[in-house]
Amino acid sequence: MLYSTHRGKTHSGISSASQYERICSIQEYQNGVALGEGIPALPTQPGLIVIGGPTATGKSRQALLLAQRLGSPLLNADSRQVYREFDIGTAKPTLAEQACWPHELIDLADPRETFTVAEFQQAAQVRIAQAHQQGQTPILVGGTGLYIQSITAGLGIPAVPPQPHLRAQLETWPAEIRYAWLQQLDPAAAQHIHPHDAVRTLRALEIIYTTGKTASSLRQAQPPQYPILMLGLHCPMPRLQARIAQRTAQMFQSGWIEEVKQLRERYGPDLPLLNTLGYAEISAYLEGRISEAELQPLIVQHTRQFAKRQMTWFRAMPGIQWLDCEAEDLPDQIEQRVKDWMADLPNTETTADDNRHRLADP
C-alpha cells in the first residue's frame, strides 16, 4: 500500500495557515463519520482532479474535504513529503488528517535515498490506474509543479538512475558552485530550483553529465487519455506572506527545531535534504551561523521567494482554474467546479487530443 498512516510514531506537521484545528477526530473516523457525511455523492467518471498552487494556500485542507465528499483517493504531489521523517517542515498531513482520510504517496523513501521525478510519476500513474479500475476519480494535491505536470502532461522523464560516484564528485564542490553550474548548463531548470535545494540541483546536474542533455530537452509529453480538472489556489502576495509567517510560527511551535536536531543526529548534518528550504536555515542556527532572531524571518523570506517561483511555474501550465484561497465559501466553490466539470464530461472515451483541448480550455 502506497500511503502511510504513521502509526506507532507521532509528528505535528501542518498543511496550511488555516489548518491548525483537527479536521475530524480519530474516533469519528473509526465510527465511519467523516466531515463530508451528509453531502450527496457526486457522479463520477474516472479522471483526475488536481489542486495545486503556491505554499501556504491551504491546498491540503481543501483536497481532504473534497476527497471525503467524493470518496476519492488522495494523492500527494509534494517532492519532500515523499521522504520519511521530514514531517513538520514539509507540512506533511498530521496524524489527525491521516486518520480522517488515507493520504497516499507520502513517506515512500528513506531520507538517504534519492526519489526521482520518474519514480514519483510511475507510482502516481499506477495508483491512478488502480483508482480508475474501481471507478474512482483520484485527487492529486501539492505544490511541486514538476510532479503535477509529469502526470497531467505525461512528461517523458529521463530514466537516469542515481549515479553515486558522480554525486560524490559533485558534492566535493560547495553548493553555491554547483548551483552556478546548473544556471549555466540548464537555466530553465535553475529558474525553478531554489539555490538551497541541493537534492534537485544534484539531480539536474546528474542528468546533464550522464546524458549530455538537459532534463527539459529529454522530456517528450504523452498526455493521459483521461479527463483532468486543474484547480489552483492563490491570493495576493501580501496576504500570502502573512499566511507564510503564521504557518512558519506554528511549525516552530510544533517542534520543528527538535525535528531538525533529531534528523541531524540520525543522519548527520550533511544529509542533502537538510539543505532544503527551512531545514537549511535551522541547521545554520544550530551551528551558530545565524541568530535566533534572524531564523524565522529568514525562513519566511525564503519561503516567500519560493512561493513566487511556484507561481511562475503554475502560471505556465495551461488550463488551471484559479480560486481565492481565503474565500469563505471556498469548499463550495471547489465542489461546484467539480460538479460542472463532471456534468460536461463526454460519454465517449476521451482521446489524447480531447485532453489537450480540455487542459487548454478549462
Question: Is residue 72 annotated as involved in ligand binding?
Answer: no
54 annotated ligand-binding residue:
yes
Distance set, CA 229 to CA 8, 47, 145, 150, 210 (Å): 36, 8, 15, 15, 36
Cα separation, 92 vs 261, in Å, equals 18
Q: Is 60 annotated as a binding residue?
A: yes
Known binding residue 57? Answer is yes
Three cell numbers, residue 321: 482554474
216 assigned binding-site residue: no
Let me know: does 91 contact 61? Beta carbons within 8 Å. Answer: no
Please tell me whether 154 is known to bind a ligand: no
CA distance to 62, 197, 290, per residue, from 86 (Å): 22, 15, 22
Strands 48-52 and 320-324: unpaired
Reported in sequence order, the residue ranges of 25-128 that DSSP labels E, i.e. its strands, are 48-52, 74-76, 103-104
The whole-angstrom separation of Cα 322 and Cα 42 is 22
Beta strand pairing status for 74-76 and 139-141? parallel
Residue 189: closest CA among 109, 113, 117, 141: 117
CA distance 234 to 215: 28
- In a 10 Å sphere around its CB, with 0-12 CB exposed, 13-18 middle and 19+ buried, how is residue 267 labelled? middle
Amino acid at 73: P
CA distances from 212 to 114, 173, 184, 206 (A): 20, 20, 14, 10
Secondary structure element (H or E) that encloses residue 228, with its range: strand 228-234
Residue 174 C-alpha cell reads as 560547495
From CA 201, how far away is CA 179, in angstroms rounded? 6
Which residues make up each annotated binding site for ATP?
53-60
Could you tell me which residues are annotated as the binding site? 53-60
Annotated binding-site positions for substrate? 55-60
